Amino acid sequence: MKKLTQLILSMLILSSAFANSQLSSSIFHIAPWGYRNANGDIAGLEYEIIKEIEKDIGEPIKINLVPYNRMIYQLKNGSSDFSIFFRSPKSEESAEPLVKWGSLDIIVITKQGNPIKDYDDLKGQKIGVRLGGFFDKRFDNDKQLYKVTQRDYAECIEKFKTGKLDAVIGTAATLYYELQKQNVPIDSLAKPYFIGQKEDWLHFSRLSTNKDKKDKIKASVEKLIKNGTFQRIFSKYLPKKWLRVEN
């Protein structure tokens, strides 16, 4: 009986040690970056990226799907090891920017017959902007533009469909997802207007208990960029005619 008790205790200790050392990543809940599919499983672009990292480094990564603010909170307190999101001075307060995985183009979409050919064409347009979104310094600070804040991208596209908005700003992948979801044909749109770029970085928690794995993760990301794995994933989330828009 004593030996059995010791065995059980040993297994519990090993299990606890594994749980503490297992990598974890938090994904913010905004489609197509992270969401739940029809079966209730986590899916999305960032989910696929993290699964490729998991496969490459040869160890499991626990993936959590959470609201954006909770993702930041988990990085700050060390309950999540890493996350992927836009790099900014504010993001660097939350976690260490470890490695850049891609640059995302910020675009403005409009309907056929209302093309945006240069920045000045934005004036007079009712432009849907997601609540809390920051896209481009010039655009964000421009008080002359008619920017209409909406709860989320779904609401932006819904009002764009009905003509209550003339345009919507966002990343191409995010806008394309919502356009598909709401059955808006890509051919009904004018050519997207490129307005700027944002760098997407893998940020590592400064309070992580897995800091010894940082170099391995960084090397994996660099490898998966170089061999085209990340680009193949990203291309699945854009129409072919938009691939030239986003790098």
122 close to 116: Cβ distance less than 8 angstroms: yes
Predicted pLDDT of residue 9: 45
Backbone angles phi, psi at 203, to 5 degrees: -100, 135
CATH of domain 23-103+198-242: 3.40.190.10
Residue owning tokens 């960029």: 225
Q: Please, which pLDDT band fits residue 54 given cuts at 50, 70 and 90?
A: very high
CATH of domain 105-197: 3.40.190.10
205 close to 97: Cβ distance less than 8 angstroms: no
Report the alpha-carbon distance of residue 176 to residue 179 in Å, rounded: 5
> Model's pTM, two decimal places?
0.81
More confident position, 222 or 91: 222
- Exposed/middle/buried for 176, CB within 10 Å: 0-12, 13-18, 19+? buried
Predicted pLDDT of residue 152: 92
| 215: pLDDT strictly greater than 50 | yes
Predicted pLDDT of residue 17: 44
The per-residue pLDDT for range 59-105, each reduced to its tens digit, is 999 999 999 999 999 999 999 999 999 988 878 888 999 999 888 88
| 189: pLDDT strictly greater than 60 | yes
Lowest mean per-residue pLDDT among 35-44, 47-56, 86-95: 86-95
136 close to 108: Cβ distance less than 8 angstroms: no
Residue type present at position 217: I
Q: Which two tokens stand for residue 217?
A: 């993760």
- Exposed/middle/buried for 41, CB within 10 Å: 0-12, 13-18, 19+? exposed
Residue type present at position 161: K
Helix, strand, coil percentages (3-state) for the chain, rounded to 5, are 40, 25, 30
User: Boundaries of CATH 3.40.190.10 in the chain?
Assistant: 23-103+198-242, 105-197
Report the alpha-carbon distance of residue 244 to residue 241 in Å, rounded: 7
Helix (H) or strand (E) run with residue 37 in it? none
128 close to 148: Cβ distance less than 8 angstroms: yes
